[in-house]
Structure 1
Amino acid sequence: MSNEYPGSNANPLEVLDLANAYCSASELLFSEGEKHVALAIAPARMCAIHAIELYLNAFLRHEGVAPEEIRKRMHNLVEPMFVAKLKLRKKTALHLEAMTAKREYLISRYSPKQAREHTDLNRLLRRWRKS
């Protein structure tokens, strides 16, 4: 059995495909959940945040960043190395910064009752593939 980290050999297109799958899952879950009930949309929010992270990871892999370096980010969505390269819209970059600062990935994963601390749900519902 190999001790290699899962996904280390995935190419950028494979990571992009996975991001698209999580994005589609989040859209489906958001459409089915009660948006005013934090627990009901926690899985949707988690899938959306993970999709965003995977899109960024696919970009970094495309740029030649090693998987080990990407993993060191630990859910930091606003690393200057790629924010500038992506030429994100100001509001998009600010939203990623707020999500990281508020630790939304961890809250969505482990403590959905803290949803009041989340950034605006409307920003998360946008199709990140188009941002």
Structure 2
Amino acid sequence: MEPVSSTNSYPGENASAFAIVQLGNAYYNAAMELFKHASAPDPLSFAPARLCAIHAIELYLNAVLRHEGVAPSQIRGRMHNLADPTFFTRLKLRKKTADHLQALTERREYLIARYAPEQASQHTELNRLTATLVEVMMKAGHYVSNP
């Protein structure tokens, strides 16, 4: 494995907005499949599905930013911030979805799903997460595919 140097591009640096949507679709599909296999009494069994769902949402929103011409370095600098008024207005997200993106960011659910099993009770409801995922997927995909 080669070390990253200033002459090599950062992974994903040259990905198109459409390619990022396709990657988001792969994570969406993985999340949906993992949700099917999680066990209701065990909240930790949902962690992989939650992580895939939140990552898919982030990829879809990143695709919107790339479509808008935002530099990849600026997108990386967002640090999992899903609450940006740009998304709400451009994608015409429902208020519940916009509020949920804000809550996901404030509660740092991406990090909880990855690293904090003791905080699993702080996650938002699965129905709300899947509703947000589906709405963002549909609207971001449509936004990126239309000039």
Q: Same fold (TM over 0.5)?
A: yes
Equivalent positions of 1:3-82 (< 5 A) are: 3-82=8-87
- Larger mean CA deviation between 117-126 and 70-79 belongs to 117-126
Deviations 1:79-115 (A, max 9, x none): 2233322221100000000111100000001013311
Q: CA deviation at 1:70?
A: 0.7
Distance 1:8 1:35, change over 3 A: farther
2:40 and 2:14 map into 1 onto residues whose CA distance is: 37
Q: How many residue pairs are counted as aligned between the two chains?
A: 131
SS in 2 for 1:8: coil
Q: Quick one: which amino acid aligns to residue 62 of structure 2?
A: N
Q: Does 1:130 align with 2:130?
A: no
CA distance in 2, matches of 1:83, 1:27: 24
For the pair shown, the structure with the greater C-alpha radius of gyration is 2
Provide the rounded CA distance (Å) in 1 between the counterparts of 2:86 and 2:67: 13
1:89 pairs with 2:97: no
Shift of 1:53: 0.2
Q: Which runs of structure 1 show a deviation greater than 4 angstroms over 4 or more consecutive aligned residues?
A: none
Structure 1 vs Structure 2 CA RMSD: 1.5
* Structure-2 separation of matches of 1:121 and 1:77: 17
TM-score of the superposed pair, with normalisation by structure 2: 0.83
Residue equivalent to 1:111: 116
SS at match of 1:125: helix
Gaps of 5+ in 1: none
The SS at the match of 2:15 is coil
Please give the per-residue CA displacement for 1:35-75, whole angstroms capped at 9, x wherever unaligned.
Answer: 33121110000000000000000111111111111111100
Q: Does structure 1 conserve the Cα–Cα contact (< 8 Å) formed by 2:87 and 2:93?
A: no
Instruction: Provide TM-score, normalisation by structure 1.
Output: 0.92
Paired-residue identity, % = 57
